[in-house]
Amino acid sequence: RFQTGGGISFNGDTAAANAIDDYEEGSWTPAVSGSSITYQHQVGEYTKIGNIVYWKCYITVNGGTPTNNISGLPYAVPAGEQNNIFSNWTYAYWDWGNANDHAPVVAYSIAGTSSLGLKMTDWNGSSGFPNVDFGGGSTTRNFYGAGFYWTS
């Protein structure tokens, strides 16, 4: 059923509050914060349904001094909504010969920004969730991720 004020409702529901009235698909350009970053790939896609944004991205960094933040989310995270993201993120170097060169990563939202912070999971027995250390120089690094977060 199409609502008079916009949106679609299902199963005979006529309440405007229950109508789907905000749906969008698109692309975004994820960027690694830092200095002198060079990229091979910067691909991001999203779907927004109401106030939830589902995102995914793939980044290959070839050089520079990256930090543990990814910027460029399609919608800002509201102020006061720190860590409101749910993610499935993997992080890897090309050098698979060294066990320390890859680790699962957790993404978290940074309140009032369009950015994600990245923390390593406890993959090497250390305590806590240290910031991702992408290092520097010319080593190629791949980042693959997907998740969702709330927006205004």
Distance CA 31, CA 66 (A): 10
Q: What SS3 class is residue 16?
A: helix
Report pLDDT for 95. Answer: 37
Distance CA 152, CA 143 (A): 27
Report pLDDT for 24. Answer: 94
Report pLDDT for 69. Answer: 84
- What values do phi and psi take at 106, rounded to 5? -110, 135
* Ranges in the chain, pLDDT < 50: 93-99
Strands 52-71 and 85-93: unpaired
Residue whose C-alpha is closest to residue 48's, from 25, 19, 28, 71: 25
Distance CA 145, CA 136 (A): 21
> With b meaning 16 or more CB within 10 Å and e meaning fewer, what string describes 114-148?
bbbbbbbeeeeeeeeeeebebeeeeeebbbebbbb
Report pLDDT for 143. Answer: 78
Q: Judge contact between 7 and 16, C-beta under 8 A.
A: yes
Distance CA 97, CA 71 (A): 30
Report pLDDT for 118. Answer: 79
Report pLDDT for 99. Answer: 47
Residue whose C-alpha is closest to residue 52's, from 29, 81, 30, 72: 81
Amino acid at 119: K
